[in-house]
Amino acid sequence: MDAWVLWLIAAGIILVLEMFTLTFYMLWLCIGTLVAALVAWFAPDAYLFQVVAGCVVALILTVFTKPLSRKFRAAKGFEDTGTELVGRQGVVVEPIEEGQYGIVKVGGDTWSATSAQTLAKDELVRVLKRSSTIIEVERWEEFI
């Protein structure tokens, strides 16, 4: 199998992973692997050059888009959809063991959740913070 095909497969896998994380960091890696595939198309035996080209593109995109995304987030009117979760009430769908993951339903959405406490199914919880796809919760009674 040609190297450019392998690079395209890797790009597809990374793109799917990016869709799960929603962070844009893996998108830059995906674009880097696409550049490596393009290099592999024109120079199939230059494996080191393929890797270096992909890494350089991913690094440049990461470094130069970080300040741009920071400005975008600081812009007036920008609202991160996850910030409204903090403080909201939810219900445990799958039990959460201390330091392990479970599932919590907040509003109409289900989230992977972690807690410093053991929480049983159907317990009410409060969202403490949110990372990209995981929320941290605590038993609701402690806040009433």
Secondary structure (H, E, C), 20-84: HHCCCHHHHHHHHHHHHHHHHHHCCCCHHHHHHHHHHHHHHHHHHHHHHHHHHHHCCCCCCCCHH
Residue 43, pLDDT score: 92
Report residue 96 as tokens: 């959460």
Q: Which domain holds residue 136?
A: 83-143
- Write the pLDDT tens digit of every residue in 131-143: 878 888 988 875 5
Same domain, 100 and 70: no
Q: Residue 74 has what pLDDT?
A: 65
32-91 pLDDT, tens digit each: 999 999 999 999 899 999 999 999 999 999 888 877 767 766 666 655 555 678 888 899
Look at residue 52 in the predicted model and tell me its pLDDT: 96
Segment 20-32, tens digit of pLDDT? 877 777 889 999 9
Q: 108 and 67 in one domain?
A: no
Q: Give the burial string for 2-30 (b: 16+ CB within 10 Å, else e).
A: ebbeebbebbeebbeebeeeeeeebbbbb
pLDDT at 108: 81
Question: pLDDT at position 79, please?
Answer: 57
The CATH number of the domain holding residue 135 is 2.40.50.140
Number of domains in the chain: 2
Phi-psi region of 71 (alpha: psi -120 to 50; beta: other; left: phi over 0): alpha
Is 87 found in the same domain as 69? no
pLDDT tens digit sequence for 101-137: 899 998 888 889 999 888 889 999 999 888 878 888 9
